[in-house]
Amino acid sequence: MTLPAEEDEVVSAINTTPLVDVMLVLLIIFLITIPVVTNTVAVELPKETNQPRVTAPENINIAVTRDGKVFWNESAVADSEALVERLKGIAVQQPQPEVQIRGDGAAPYEFVGRVIFACQRAGILKVGFITEPPPRG
């Protein structure tokens, strides 16, 4: 006895129901965990644009090299105490000039921090950093 031809056919359809179930579960998990990840403390961040400033002649430029040497308008400063004494001299001027620090990109922050600390000890109110804009490309 031979079987009918209908029973010999192989079913080649893919059952996608389990795939859809798994995807829905993953979607629900994803939607539940996203708000937890993005919750932060509500603060209003300042909206500021970086405007290039013209260096006034009375401003003091202090350069810090990568090996820690400090220069006051292109003349070397012996040590931190000498820097503080020079800064105290300009701190009493009215209006007080701005101190602009140019730190080498490869210099450890410790060297720039010493200059900032010297400005603080001398009573300098305006300290700025001179940077180069990123290359446009």
Q: What is the pLDDT of residue 49?
A: 64
Closest of 97, 129, 105 to residue 115, by C-alpha: 129
| pLDDT: which is higher, 35 or 73 | 73
Q: Which residues contact 80 (CB under 8 A, 6 or more apart)?
A: 114, 117, 118
pLDDT at residue 121 is higher than 80: yes
What pLDDT does 83 receive?
Answer: 94
The model's confidence at residue 31, banded by pLDDT at 50, 70 and 90, is confident
Whose CA is closest to 108, among 61, 63, 62, 68?
Answer: 68
